[in-house]
């Protein structure tokens, strides 16, 4: 299919010559002798020309007025304007409206060919970007947050509402694997900044010095190894969205710098002297409670309040198990397409097992289960034997133990109804940590945020020295656990 070139020219001989020339070059040429004809083709018949070649002075007006009208209606395509007399005000207005070029008549055809070819390449690039943007809007619409449960419906309504407003900052909370990244993309691609860039940063994946450089950018020579200028993520996200995942892992001094940028709407690269304006929408996410981090002094309260213009907490999968009949087929279809498999049938026993499981990894864990099962399927039936859900806590077990302490994924639930003494709670937490670390005292101490000496004392105090038959701890850890530490060392569990 050839690209369309619209020629707006009131001189019949010149219009005919231009049409003949560009038709021979492979263009699908449309002509108009007046602004009225051109307006009818552009706004009513939706010609959508890739390039418009227009005489600026026409019998019924100035072509710049039509250009301005098409820009207001966001019609794509490049414009090249021809005029018999050059005027500075008109040329300035043409460039301000985004015209590709402004030429004086007569213009040699050889030069015109070069300019039209350049406009064609530019318009094709714009068309590809617009197509990708439309595809992203379809892929990341609020309906992408799949499910029909009450919790999902409420969350989806909130997502759709947020996508309609030009918010400056938002905090997304929820456990690991609940889909915070998906929701951030929905809010960007469905919102008013969809035409701008979306930059995603995992704050926990980068060391402090590198994160500072990546966020704020640097000038050449700012530090050892800085050989050239680098535009940081904040600068790259100008007019778009910056998604800061695991923001609770950001150091306090970087939090201060980020707050300054958000307040001043400008930044300076590391080693730079020039202030650079930035207009960025911030979406922050954390699987840890930022309220708790603020109380503990690990997160700045002023940054927290600056980011929490809106807050959205995503429900865990165990609270939306009614969504499984929609989630499972959708994920199976995705992995069928990726792997060339044809899994179609999901036995009811599969759903029964899924509903009886606690899903500590949430939707991310569900994706992994379905990917594994689809890849190992022998026919069209979903293979229940490859689900391998033994590493979590079955929900049926949780319901059976609601009157006492129990473990739910990475959480320990302790009753506060007086049925457990404080020492019993302490003992249960330590015993759980030891079992989860295969009785490795060093690993258990790290998980509990305490020292090995303190934990060894508690192990001895509660008689929790592991039996050799079930212990995989190092001999030094087991031996040391038998030696009590002074009471003053037991300061933290």
Residue 138 CA to its chain's centroid (Å) = 15
Where do you find CATH 1.10.8.60 in the chain?
318-395
Where do you find CATH 3.40.50.300 in the chain?
140-220+228-313
DSSP string, 205-268: SS-HHHHHHHHH-B-TTSSTT--S-B--HHHHTTTSEEEEETGGGS-HHHHHHHHHHHHHTEE-
- CATH class for the region spanning 421-489: mainly alpha
Residue 397: count of CB within 10 angstroms of its CB: 14
Q: What is the full per-residue pLDDT of the chain (493 aa) written as tens digits?
A: 468 999 999 899 999 999 999 999 899 999 999 999 999 989 888 888 999 999 988 888 888 999 999 988 888 899 999 887 666 777 788 888 888 988 888 888 899 999 999 999 999 988 888 777 777 777 888 999 999 999 999 999 999 999 999 999 999 999 999 999 999 999 999 999 998 999 999 998 888 888 999 999 999 888 887 888 899 999 999 999 999 999 999 999 999 999 999 999 999 999 988 899 999 999 999 988 999 999 999 999 999 999 999 999 999 999 999 999 999 999 999 999 999 999 999 999 999 999 988 898 899 999 999 999 999 998 999 999 888 875 555 555 444 444 567 776 667 778 776 667 787 888 889 988 888 888 888 888 888 888 888 888 888 888 886 543 334 444 334 334 334 444 333 333 3
Of 1.10.8.60, 3.40.50.920, 3.30.450.40, 3.30.70.580, the CATH number of 318-395 is 1.10.8.60
| 3 state DSSP class of 151 | helix
Backbone angles phi and psi of 110, in degrees to 5: -65, -45
Where do you find CATH 1.10.10 in the chain?
421-489
On the CB side of 139, how many CA atoms lie within 13 Å of its CA?
13
Strands 101-104 and 169-173: unpaired
Indicate the pTM of the whole model.
Answer: 0.65
Give the fold, CATH level 3, of 4-135: Rossmann fold (3.40.50)
In CATH, what is the architecture of 140-220+228-313?
3-Layer(aba) Sandwich (3.40)
């Amino acid at each position: 299919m050839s690209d369309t070139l619209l020629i707006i020219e009131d001189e019949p001989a010149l219009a005919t010559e231009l049409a003949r020339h560009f038709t021979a070059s492979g263009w699908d040429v449309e002509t108009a002798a007046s602004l009225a004809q051109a307006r009818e083709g552009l706004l009513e018949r939706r010609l959508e020309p890739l390039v418009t070649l227009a005489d600026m002075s026409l019998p019924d007006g100035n072509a710049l007025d039509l250009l301005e009208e098409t820009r207001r209606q966001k019609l794509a395509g490049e414009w090249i304007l021809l005029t018999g007399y050059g005027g500075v005000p008109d040329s300035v207005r043409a460039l301000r409206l985004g015209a590709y070029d402004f030429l004086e008549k007569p213009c040699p055809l050889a030069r015109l060919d070069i300019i039209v070819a350049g406009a064609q390449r530019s318009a094709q690039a714009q068309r590809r970007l617009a197509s990708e943007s439309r595809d992203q809007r379809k892929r990341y619409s609020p309906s992408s947050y799949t499910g029909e449960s009450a919790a999902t419906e409420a969350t989806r309504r909130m997502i759709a509402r947020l996508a309609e407003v030009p918010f400056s900052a938002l905090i997304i909370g929820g456990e690991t694997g609940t889909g915070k990244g998906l929701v951030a993309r929905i809010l960007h691609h469905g919102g008013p900044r969809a035409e701008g860039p979306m930059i995603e940063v995992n704050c926990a994946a980068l060391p402090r010095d590198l994160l500072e450089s990546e966020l704020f950018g640097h000038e050449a020579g700012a530090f050892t190894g800085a050989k050239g200028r680098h535009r940081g993520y904040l600068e790259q996200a100008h007019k778009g969205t910056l998604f800061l995942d695991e923001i609770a892992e950001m150091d306090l001094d970087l939090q201060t710098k980020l707050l300054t940028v958000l307040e001043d709407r400008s930044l300076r690269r590391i080693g730079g002297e020039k202030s650079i304006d930035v207009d960025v929408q911030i979406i922050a996410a954390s699987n840890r409670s930022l309220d708790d981090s603020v109380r503990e002094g690990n997160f700045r309260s002023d940054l927290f309040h600056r980011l929490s213009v809106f807050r959205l907490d995503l429900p865990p999968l165990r609270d939306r198990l009614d969504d499984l009949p929609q989630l499972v087929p959708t994920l199976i279809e995705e992995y069928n397409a990726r792997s060339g498999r044809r899994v179609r049938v999901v036995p009811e026993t599969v759903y029964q097992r899924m509903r009886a499981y606690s899903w500590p990894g949430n939707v991310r864990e569900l994706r992994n289960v379905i990917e594994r099962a689809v890849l190992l399927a022998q026919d069209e039936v979903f293979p229940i034997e490859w689900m391998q859900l033994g590493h979590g806590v079955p929900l049926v077990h949780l319901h059976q133990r609601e009157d006492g302490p129990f473990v739910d994924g990475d959480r320990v639930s302790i009753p506060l109804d007086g049925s457990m003494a404080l020492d019993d709670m302490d003992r249960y937490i330590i015993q759980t940590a030891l079992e989860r670390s295969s009785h490795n005292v060093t690993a258990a101490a790290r998980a509990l945020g305490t020292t090995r000496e303190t934990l060894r004392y508690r192990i001895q105090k509660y008689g929790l020295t592991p039996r050799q038959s079930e212990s995989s701890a190092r001999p030094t850890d087991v031996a040391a656990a038998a030696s009590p530490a002074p009471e003053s060392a037991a300061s933290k569990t």
